Amino acid sequence: MERCRPLGYILRRLACFHSDAPPPASCNGPQAAIDLSGPLTLRRAFRFPLQTALSRRELVTGGWLLLLPFVGWLLNMGHRIAMVRAMHEGRSPWPAWRRWRAQLRHGLITWLGMVMYYAPSLGLGALTWGTGSIVAAAAAGVLFVLATVAIPGYMTHYCRRLDPTEIFNPVKALRRCIEGGRAYWHAWAIASCALALSLLGLLALGVGFLWTSVWFWQVAGYSFAHVFTQPFAAPARTSGPPGAASAPALTRSCS
């Protein structure tokens, strides 16, 4: 009987990956000890992607997928969307490698948003290159910073409702960032530290960055998801045994 357990496990995982229906209980991973209900700290954020064997396996999978040019990056983006969405719904963020076509679609949508946000600054940058205009260079820099600041705001809110208007409305995205207040910049500080640390992966013949970059993006996803959980009443899961009821998040007005 023990010899049959691995085969059964594989069959259940395949069912989870390819089903478009909501995942059954057998697809849910163990409850995360570090979730959105606790405080957002550097230590918790850094440990979040590494806290369970399942989360570590998913991180490794994401790194291998980056060997697929562009498609692997889109899949990893979709994986983070699924992971954050699960946390906002009070579910375990893992396993999140399921519904590959949907993850590819969500990754493509968010990538198109990035293209739209960065296009003005890149266009002005090209103009600067051709003309040497200082005004164009300054404007390109300002627009680049605004685009970078806005992207985590629209990403997190897209995860909650999968509403493309959260992405393709720059004014709405920037308003979300302002509503995040000081907590939003706290998340940015954590994400920036994770980005700097992830560069150490380049020391492993460059290929180590495949996995350290996935770790960085998951740290960033967790950090920004944490910022917008309480202000917008997204449910946060409390620590406890698997199957425990989700506790409603504390709310504060952002209007």
What confidence category does residue 199 fall into, taking pLDDT thresholds of 50, 70 and 90?
very high
Cα–Cα distance for residue pair 52/201, rounded to 1 Å:
21
What's the pLDDT tens digit per position in 135-168? 999 999 999 999 999 999 889 889 988 999 889 9
Query: Which stretch of DSSP H or E encloses residue 84?
Result: helix 71-88
- What's the distance, Cα to Cα, between the start and end of the chain in Å? 58
Q: What is the pLDDT of residue 3?
A: 45
Range in 6-10, 48-52, 187-191, 224-228 with the lowest mean pLDDT? 6-10
Cα–Cα distance for residue pair 231/196, rounded to 1 Å:
28
Share of the chain above pLDDT 70, in %: 77
> For the chain, what is the radius of gyration of the CA atoms?
19
> Domain-by-domain residue ranges, the chain?
33-229
pLDDT: which is higher, 228 or 54: 54
Which of 100-104, 225-229, 233-237 has the highest mean predicted lDDT (pLDDT)? 100-104
Tell me if 66 sits within 8 A of 73, measured CB to CB: yes
Q: What is the pLDDT of residue 31?
A: 53
Share of the chain above pLDDT 90, in %: 60
> 136, 27, 2: which is closest to 86 by C-alpha?
27
